[in-house]
Structure 1
Amino acid sequence: MMLTLLKQRSLISTLAPSFPFITTRTHFSSLLQQQQQQHKPSIFLNPFSSKSKSKSQTKNPNFTLSYLINTCNLSPAWALKLSKRVHLKSPDQPNAVLNLLKTFGFSELQLSLLVKRFPIVLKIKPEKTILPKLQFFLSIGLSTSDLPKLLIGNSVLLEGSLKYCLVPRYNILSTVLRDRDKVVLALKRVPWCLTGRGLINHLIPNVEHLRGVGVPQGPIAHLVCNHLGVVCVEHTKFVEAVEKVVVGTSKEAWEKRVEVYERWGWSNEMCLCAFRRYPQCMLMSEDKVMRTMRFLVKDMGWPAEDIFRTPGVLSPNLEKTIMPRSRVMKVLKERGLVKSDSRLSSAILITEKLFLEKFVGRFQDRVPGLMEVYKGHVDHLDSVL
């Protein structure tokens, strides 16, 4: 029974690191009137009301800049940057957008964040394009408090076609999860699924493969809700990973790998916990685990308990990823440029481009030779201190 449970849990999370609704069309102006009657007048001040606008305002090349600063509460620097991406001719269109979003739960701060991340929203037609999507999200179970988080985090949802993009993907999720609350949970955790291709192309065949190897609906729903991106990877890769888990998690293999981790102070309970977080850690070879743990714990001084909390750090290539990044982090810690309790995963489990930007390029002027440390051209860390 335990082994079966472990296989299901492994199936649920091992891929995570690797890989009919009807809208009731309400007229825009009527909606705003209803909202104004039900709620107190908005405190979102607008210095560019349509009544007070003049010809000089609409022709003023600085109108966009002023609007972003005074109405959207952006800093002058951000307003200048965004004014190159969006050009406003009058306050009518952006005012209509902001007023509509306020009626659906957006605060002033959230409106500023949305404009900052997606300034073109001010030029999207509110009644024709934005309103039907907001109504759709509410109709499927999202609340007005969910909408700002959903749209600020994935503003492209406001651009995607409701009929040909959002609704078809929602229907697929509903078919797979068979529970409206679970669909909402999945959308809140992975909002990009409503615009990504993976859900359309791979979700159904991947779920059918899980069912074909005996995975019950419960674990499948858990996987889709918590790691939707995993079930949307390319089908052949998904099948290969599933087969590896099914074949690889035997009782003997499990016990052998537990023995390896026990050498580094992990208990059997810690192994189970690490397995739930990153099942691949129980499929690695003994040599891979020993060499990586030896380097991280003995050479770099990382506590074995920290590795237990984020076992995914054991997965990347030791020589190409773990060693160079660990050397850089050690230098930065010794110079006091990063916190001494910074998580190992924050440096190991990110892309190379992001690591170079965040930990090398950012400090290269203050630590000459940091790139040489990363590339392994410097033998002793003291040479750059």
Structure 2
Amino acid sequence: MDGSNSAKSASGVGRPSPHSSCITMFAAICRRRLAVLLPQIRGGGAYYLQSNPQAVLFHSNSTTAVAGGRDSEPCPDTISYLVSRGLSPAAARNTVAKTPGLRIRSTEKADAVCALLRRYGFSDADIVRIARGAPVLLTIDPDRILRPKLEFFVSMGFEPSKLASSPLLLARSLDKHIVPSIQFLRGVVGTDDGVRRGFSRIPRVLVVSLDKCMRPAVEALRRHGLTSSKDVSKVLVLQMGVLMLSPARIGEIFEDLKAMGMSITDKRFANWFRVMCCLRRETLLRKVALYRSFGMSESEVFEAVKKQPTVLLCADETIKKKALFFRDKLKLEMRDVMVHPVIVAYSFEKTILPRCAVLNVLMRKGKIKPDIQFPQALLGSAIIFLTKYVQRYAADVPDVVEAYKGKIKFKGFKGMGI
């Protein structure tokens, strides 16, 4: 989807659209500020995983070799065993197809692996995820190879569910990869708790190469201005996924933040950086253009992003839906809403609509005035809104409870003077 939108904007066929004009304008401003051409997109993301992730198991120095040699034909017994462990027949076949040479020749050993995982707190759902993501683990010696790794992770306080979400990590060598990587992160982040929190957010980060990915990424952070150990630590704890980015991509993120007027000395920088790590450059341009298409200036978009960077993570269709709702139902321009950009980050179905329904009920019952200020009335945590507008009036107006639960649908403030 991102690629098709970018291609349409860049094609130059027919009359330029407001969308493409916004992208061109944003790129021009960035060129003036940074002497770089933003639309020249380089791929972001985890550059270490450009090939099949299962290659980690077959081409590393790990001792977790696959039993079965070079056999390439799908093994019916292996598929059958995976099905017995909770995978659907289709998922089992797909897993075997993506893991050439996989043979579960000993169901006794595979059962012992599963039993060991359970003893260390892995649920049946966790074991299914492991069987799907790293089935080769079912072929290894549970006591000699797997148990020491589990003991180590237990000592670090890592949760089994997090390990199961990135099972390839359990296939890496304990002495050659896992321990050195943890030691490196401990030295950068400063505490085991920080390492644990960073890992829990993005468990797959510990699969990457220490020397090819982790060290270069940290060096890039420092090279681009995060000279304080505290600042580097804060970025990694919030977004350890930065270790999965190439130094070039990290440099681009610093450039883009600078172009939007965001300084590395600002206390919010780590949070800005966290969000930017989740975006491709072309996606950033498209989001800015989309917000501008609803009447906002570039500076207004940037100011909103500074306050609430997660507005860049909303899906395009969600942004459009909310913008049209604010305009058509609440008679609000997007620039007025984005003064409080957290509202755009709220769930449309679970937060915005129920709150509007509650306010509508209260207006109709005369409990609040129709000239209530929007969008301010929608602000606040769930507890604050619940206390202020639901619990306060629940005895006199029981419908507010139903509205808050979504059982009374919001259809607009018709006849309310809004």
TM-score by length of 1: 0.47
